[in-house]
Amino acid sequence: MSGNARLGTSGLRLRTATNLAVLLFVVIIAIKQLSTIIQPMVVAVFLFFAIRPPASWLEERFGHPLLSYSAILVTFLGAILLISQILYSSLSEFSSEVDNLSPIFNERIEWLEGIDFYGYSIDLAGLKTVISIEEINRLVTEFIGSLASFTANLLTVLIFLAFIILEAESLPRRIMAAFPEETNRFDDIASKAERNINVYIKTKATVAFGQAIIAGIALTLFEIPGAFIWAFLVFLLDFIPYLGAFLSFIPPVILAFIILEPAGFLAVVFILVANQQLWGSIVEPQLAGQRLDMSPIVLLSLVAFWYWAWGLTGMILGVPLAVIMKILLESDERTLPIAIMLSRNPPSSMDDDNHVTISRDSE
């Protein structure tokens, strides 16, 4: 009997793995090929999670949910239009400085190559073909162009968001009526997802905004061209784990190297790094008291996948999508081992308190 039991367990695991592989393949194809439909819907879902707490707060005071959500959305759209105008103005200002900055950049590179250190010198000929003022201008123009493309699709996002808001009240009741035996499980998944995503969005938005404000003030005081663009990059790329902060530093550091003396250049580098460490390593844990229980290599792999699928939008959405994926895997005993393999700190005992996607920081 024990042999038959082992065979039955092995067969069940094999069927589960096969079903997951087939489902994963179908989902990947759908994500890539149906991105024009799925991406706005996913953005609308996360936007709903982001605006639901302030909308609920307004609803408690004014007693009308539609009016509350409308006020939040009007404020959101106004902020997007204002930021878009400032970004365009800042980009135009920076582009007009490219011709003046390029010769200075080449002079600084030649100065570095001329430094002799115990008989050794630096060859930066290859670096000039990869990093230059023209290349920075091209990349930031493409970046803002991708944001403009996303803004153009905002109408689709708002349509999905409107239907999500209308369905938010009736959908749970329909699920309870259709799947009465699974009500507790669905409710647990929904509550965990909403709680963890709300914590993530609130914490990340606050930390990213704080970093962007300080970076913007510092770059403006040092008269770095395009200061608002680089501050906006600091805000946006902070949502990308591990790599985002480093990528946001590259353009302002290069510009500081060009236009400032060595002391000013070192001061800019120190301020940017200290600003990121202050908010990322001190303020963020204190603010949330929690951290993502996801393996760093898993997060980086998921961010790379979502970049391949949806570009910059996918990289920003990669972490909250990973949160939802892990919660779904934890909700079923057959897929629980996969969720544990994705964890940074796997549970020592199989209790419910350990099986959460965002766990207390024990380090």
pLDDT of residue 16: 65
Position 117 scores a pLDDT of 67
The reported pLDDT for the residue numbered 361 is 40
pLDDT tens by residue, 174-204: 767 776 776 777 777 777 777 778 888 888 8
CA–CA separation, 160 and 46 (whole Å): 11
Give the chain's residues under pLDDT 70. Answer: 1-14, 16-17, 63, 113-114, 116-130, 148-152, 172, 175, 179, 182, 286-293, 346-363
How do the domains of the chain map onto residue ranges?
1-33
pLDDT at 350: 44
pLDDT at 353: 43
310: CB partners within 8 A, 6+ apart: 31, 35, 39, 317
Instruction: Give the model's pLDDT for residue 348.
Output: 60
pLDDT of residue 220: 92
Please tell me the predicted confidence (pLDDT) of residue 248: 87
Start-to-end Cα distance in the chain = 46
Rounded-to-integer distance, Cα 158 and Cα 100, Å = 42
pTM for the whole structure: 0.77
Residue listed under structure tokens 């608002």? 228
